[in-house]
Amino acid sequence: MAFAPRGPEASFFQVLDQHRASLLAALRKGGGEPAGGGTRLATSSEVLAAIENVIQDIITSLARNEAPAFTIDNRSSWENIKFEDSVGLHMVSHCTTRKIKSDSPKSVKTFALILKILSMIYKLVQSNTYATKRDIYYTNSQLFGNQTVVDNIINDISCMLKVPRRSLHILSTSKGLIAGDLRYIEEDGTKVNCACATAVAVPSNIQGIQNLITDAKFLLIVEKDATFQRLLDDSFCTKMSPCIMVTGKGVPDLNTRLLVKKLWDTFHIPIFTLVDADPHGIEIMCIYKYGSMAMSFEAHNLTVPAIRWLGLLPSDIKRLNIPKGTLIPLTKQDQMKLDSVLKRPYITCQPFWRKEMEIMADSKMKAEIQALTFLSSDYLSRVYLPNKLKFGGWI
């Protein structure tokens, strides 16, 4: 006989269940999603062939006494980015490109580094071994200069070869955490149960996890680690059982985004974000939901447009009478970020989001989630989130 649920009564989840039913109906109406969600992974032979083609082009250029160059899609221009509500931000099929030339003083080092990392990827794929981005950097830290250089080149290679980054056999070191009603088996056979008092690190090889099992009614993405840990301390996952919590500890890394996407593709449960009522928090939420310009070439593997904004809403500040002394004035950088987000293509289909951002712009104030502790120390886990989840307080 199964144990009685430790969370709320079944009636508590009525609005959540209705929301899930509407999400599923929208999926059916839209013809569903590709199996496994997003673009399929490239096979090892396809990756090796793609790299060989690039090298062949270099040899051909040299044979013609021409300076070889890499042609890479320009990921830093909004002109090359298309928005679709069902996918998020993704690159247009015929976008402008940039050349990384071997005979230009400005780009010759980048050209050489791309070649260097291409050769490393070729060996990894050929031997069916994996390395982290950090491993790549430390093979010659003096040559690369810093980790960001390696990260950008790997993204450029992925974009150039039209291959998902995971197919390059390069993994990211995960910084995200997960807790709650979720069990799975990692690629090496390790059984993981996330229903522990402490959180579990997001796996570094999301494609390798299998046998995912959950009864969760919802997934809550928490922007900040401090808030995530506070909710754990307050036994939020137990009180709201069954549910799952995830944090990317700020701007999410690739693995945290891949995990959220995998959970959506596998279970189609409602997903909510809990972020600060500030431009930075809103942008982080947009990355989970609609993606980013930098990773737009892999949008189909990363975005979850079904995500909803649960809190902290700028309108909550006035509604809950949060003391003005706990609010923080928007800086000039905050205002520029807010203006930038308001101009993005996805805001046109989110009138309620726009209204919330306009409330923030008019008040010229922002608030952290911690501001709720001024109402009571456990207000977030005891009152705010349960009420939002029970009565559908998301947008």
Say if residues 286 and 344 touch (Cβ distance below 8 Å): yes
pLDDT digit string (tens) for 332-387? 999 999 999 999 888 888 999 999 999 999 999 999 999 999 899 999 999 999 99
CA distances, 53 to each of 47, 49, 297 (Å)? 10, 6, 20
| Phi, psi for residue 211 in degrees, rounded to 5 | 55, 45
CA distances, 384 to each of 51, 176, 222, 378, 379 (Å)? 52, 24, 14, 9, 6
Eight-class DSSP state of 243? -
**CA-to-CA distance for 261 and 201, rounded, in angstroms?**
16
Say if residues 308 and 395 touch (Cβ distance below 8 Å): yes
157 DSSP β-pair partners? none
Q: In this predicted structure, what is the pLDDT of residue 305?
A: 92
Nearest 5 degrees, angle CA 214-CA 219-CA 225? Answer: 120
271 DSSP β-pair partners? 219
Sheet of strand 308-311: strand arrangement: 200-201, 177-180, 244-247, 219-222, 271-274, 308-311
Percent of the chain past pLDDT 90, that is, above it, reads 70
Q: What's the pLDDT band for 2 if we cut at 50, 70, 90?
A: very low
Q: In this predicted structure, what is the pLDDT of residue 166?
A: 81
Which CATH code fits 44-171? Answer: 1.10.10.10
* 27 Cβ contact list (under 8 Å, min separation 6): 33, 268
User: Where along the chain do the CATH 3.40.1360.10 domains lie?
Assistant: 177-391
| Phi, psi for residue 280 in degrees, rounded to 5 | -65, -45
**CA-to-CA distance for 91 and 342, rounded, in angstroms?**
20
Pairing of strands 219-222, 271-274: parallel
**CA-to-CA distance for 307 and 172, rounded, in angstroms?**
24
Q: Residue 14 is encoded by which pair of tokens?
A: 């009525």
Q: What's the pLDDT band for 5 if we cut at 50, 70, 90?
A: very low
Catalytic: 138?
yes
**CA-to-CA distance for 343 and 358, rounded, in angstroms?**
12
Domain 177-391 maps to which CATH number in 3.40.50.150, 3.40.1360.10, 3.40.47.10, 3.40.50.720?
A: 3.40.1360.10
pLDDT digit string (tens) for 287-302? 999 988 777 777 788 8
User: Where along the chain do the CATH 1.10.10.10 domains lie?
Assistant: 44-171
Interval 231-243 mean pLDDT: 93
pLDDT beyond 70 at 159: yes
Which one from 138, 290, 379, 384 is the annotated catalytic residue?
138
Cis peptide leading into 242, omega within 30 of 0? yes
Q: What's the pLDDT band for 40 if we cut at 50, 70, 90?
A: low
Pairing of strands 308-311, 271-274: parallel
Question: CA 392 from chain center: how many Å?
Answer: 24
Q: Residue 389 is encoded by which pair of tokens?
A: 């989840």
Tokens 């160059």 correspond to what residue? 69
| Phi, psi for residue 65 in degrees, rounded to 5 | 60, 30
Eight-class DSSP state of 334? H
Q: Residue 161 is encoded by which pair of tokens?
A: 């070869």
pLDDT beyond 50 at 37: no
Tokens 């046109």 correspond to what residue? 348
Radius of gyration of the chain (CA): 23
What DSSP string describes 138-195? HHSHHHH-SHHHHHHHHHHHHHHHT--GGGGTEEPPP--EEEES-EEE-TTS-EEE--
| Encoded amino acid at 205, one letter | N
Say if residues 354 and 282 touch (Cβ distance below 8 Å): no
The length of the chain is 395
Interval 106-110 mean pLDDT: 93
Where would I find the beta strands (DSSP E) of 174-324?
Answer: 177-180, 183-185, 191-193, 200-201, 210-213, 219-222, 244-247, 271-274, 308-311
Q: In this predicted structure, what is the pLDDT of residue 205?
A: 85
